[in-house]
Amino acid sequence: MANIENERPRAADTDIMGNAMSMLVRIAQAIALPVAAVLVALICGGILLSLNGFNGWDVFSVMIVGVLQDTRSIAEILLKSIPLILIGVGLCVAFRCSIWNIGAEGQLYAGAVAATIVGVAFEGLTPWIYVPLVMVAGALAGAAWAGIAGLLKVYFRASEIVTTIMLNYIALIGTSYLVTGPLRDAASAYPQSARLLKEAWMPRILPPTRLHIGILVAVALAIAFYVFLFRSSAGYAVRVVGINANAARYAGINVGRNIMIAICISGGMAGLAGAFEVAGVTRRLYQNISPGYGFEGIAVALLANNNPIGAIFSGGLFAILRSGSELMQITAQVPQVLVSVIQGMVILSVVAFGVYRFRSASRSQ
């Protein structure tokens, strides 16, 4: 009894300096693992390059210098990071709710299709209305596409891992059908849609580069979803459902509704990414509009430890790797296969460190 009485909570004593320090320590801890993961992957990649007769150091320095050499190349990286950040942020929300949405790729296509349909339809609309309209159309379509998997999970307990993967195929093949059939531009020899109306194009923010307002939207949404997850009641409910559904029910949280919220947010973000691709980059819909952003977005979220702010940086990093790998092929003549292996190593390393973090967290329980 006596020692219980003597035990006094120490929290009240901590001062502002202490809080700031502990905040810094927490941030450092959060960053340490992802940085280590990337370093390990790059070292392994360097060894692999050396084994194949390349100078790993040279290749990487060419790559880094190359991708960051001027405004144009930096703008290209930022452009590539837009879909990665958006998808990564959305998946942070889904993963926090323990929803393993593997279907961001399909949701991106759904968003791209909807943005195209809207983007070719309304002539004479002012960009002030048209641009947001295209974004909303993309986001809604992506959310709806993910929502199918959500409903199947809530009402039939169908694993979203399986259903979202299946929905990917439907979306990809559906897009192929649309651009070869109903949406095909009759004037073109290629299977692609008509060009979106000029008023629906995403305004560029750094001419003459292709960088458009999507990067601002992506960063703003990342911050917004950080606040949502960690500062709002609704986000709290999503997280509790993800950790302990029984406790959520006990707390009066509607588990099914929160599953729908989380999966639709992730789908909506992927759909928005699709809208930005057609209305900001390609300006037409065609078959392979995404080079796998939806899958890479999973690694973006994992590397960020499902923290939306972190996803801004991990999304940027994956964009650098993507541009860098193109440079590796073109400038350093590294074969494509080898580039893919190095990219794979980064993802593998990220996942391995993620598992390590997860295991050490559950050990401390």
Partner 1 sequence: MNTQPFLRMDDIHKRFGDLVASGGVTLEVEENEIHSLLGENGAGKSVLMNILCGVLSPNEGQIIYRGEPLRLGSPREAIRHGIGMVHQHFMLVPNLTVAENYVLGQGMPARVISNMRDVYARIRELSERYGLDVRPDALIQDLSVGEQQRVEILKVLFHGIDLLILDEPTAVLTPQETDRLLVLLRDLVKDGKTVIFISHKLDEVMTVSDRVSVMRDAKVVFTTRAADTNPRELARMMVGRDVLMELPRTNRTPGRTVFSVDGLSCDNEIGLPAVRNVSLEVREGEIVGIAGVSGNGQSELALAMTGLLPVTSGTISLNGEEISRLPPGEVNRRPIGHIPEDRHKMGIVLPLALTENVLLQRYNRPPFAKHGLLKFGTIAEHTRDLIRRFRVKASGEFDLIQNLSGGNQQKLVVARELARDPDFLLINQLTRGIDIGAMELVMQEVLKQREAGRAILLISTELEELFAICDRILVMFHGELVGELPPDRGRIEEMGLLMAGDRQEAARLAAART
Q: Are 115 and 109 in contact (CB under 8 A)?
A: no
- Tokens 């993963």, located at residue: 95
In the bound complex, what is the minimum distance in angstroms from residue 146's beta carbon to partner 1? 23
What single-letter amino acid sits at 172?
A: L
Q: Are 135 and 97 in contact (CB under 8 A)?
A: no
Q: How many CA atoms are closer than 13 Å to the CA of 294, on its beta-carbon side?
A: 33
Check binding of 244 to partner 1 (CB under 8 A). yes
Check binding of 16 to partner 1 (CB under 8 A). no
Candidates 2-10, 155-163, 323-331, 348-356; binding stretch for partner 1 (CB under 8 A): 2-10
Check binding of 159 to partner 1 (CB under 8 A). no
In the bound complex, what is the minimum distance in angstroms from residue 36's beta carbon to partner 1? 22
Q: How far apart are CA 136 and CA 158, in angstroms?
A: 28
Check binding of 17 to partner 1 (CB under 8 A). no
Of 36, 173, 216, 234, the residue at the interface with partner 1 (CB under 8 A) is: 234
Check binding of 1 to partner 1 (CB under 8 A). yes
Check binding of 239 to partner 1 (CB under 8 A). yes
Q: Are 349 and 38 in contact (CB under 8 A)?
A: yes
Check binding of 253 to partner 1 (CB under 8 A). yes
Of 35, 243, 352, 355, the residue at the interface with partner 1 (CB under 8 A) is: 243
- Tokens 């292996």, located at residue: 341
Check binding of 70 to partner 1 (CB under 8 A). no
Name beta bridge partners: 193: 184
Q: Are 319 and 218 in contact (CB under 8 A)?
A: no
Check binding of 250 to partner 1 (CB under 8 A). yes
Q: How far apart are CA 318 and CA 308, in angstroms?
A: 15
- Structure tokens that stand for 142 in this block: 């992506």
- Per the document, the length of the chain is 365
Q: How far apart are CA 143 and CA 153, in angstroms?
A: 15
Site for partner 1 in 165-194 (CB under 8 A): none
250 burial (CB, 10 Å; 0-12 / 13-18 / 19+) is exposed
Candidates 180-188, 265-273, 286-294, 357-365; binding stretch for partner 1 (CB under 8 A): 357-365
Of 177 and 230, the one with the shorter C-beta distance to partner 1 is: 230
Check binding of 364 to partner 1 (CB under 8 A). yes
Through-space distance between the first and last CA atoms of the chain, rounded to whole angstroms: 26
CA 90 from chain centre, in angstroms, equals 6
Candidates 87-95, 129-137, 246-254, 289-297; binding stretch for partner 1 (CB under 8 A): 246-254
In the bound complex, what is the minimum distance in angstroms from residue 5's beta carbon to partner 1? 7
What single-letter amino acid sits at 153?
A: K
- Cα–Cα–Cα angle for 276, 274, 178, nearest 5°? 120
Check binding of 154 to partner 1 (CB under 8 A). no
Of 173 and 224, the one with the shorter C-beta distance to partner 1 is: 224
Of 157, 252, 333, 337, the residue at the interface with partner 1 (CB under 8 A) is: 252
Of 71, 232, 340, 360, the residue at the interface with partner 1 (CB under 8 A) is: 232
Smallest Cα–Cα separation from 86: which of 255, 213, 174?
213
Q: How far apart are CA 208 and CA 166, in angstroms?
A: 40
Candidates 107-115, 148-156, 167-175, 239-247; binding stretch for partner 1 (CB under 8 A): 239-247
Would you tell me which residues interact with partner 1 (CB under 8 A)? 1, 4-5, 7, 9-12, 14, 227, 231-234, 236-237, 239-240, 243-244, 246-247, 249-254, 361, 364-365
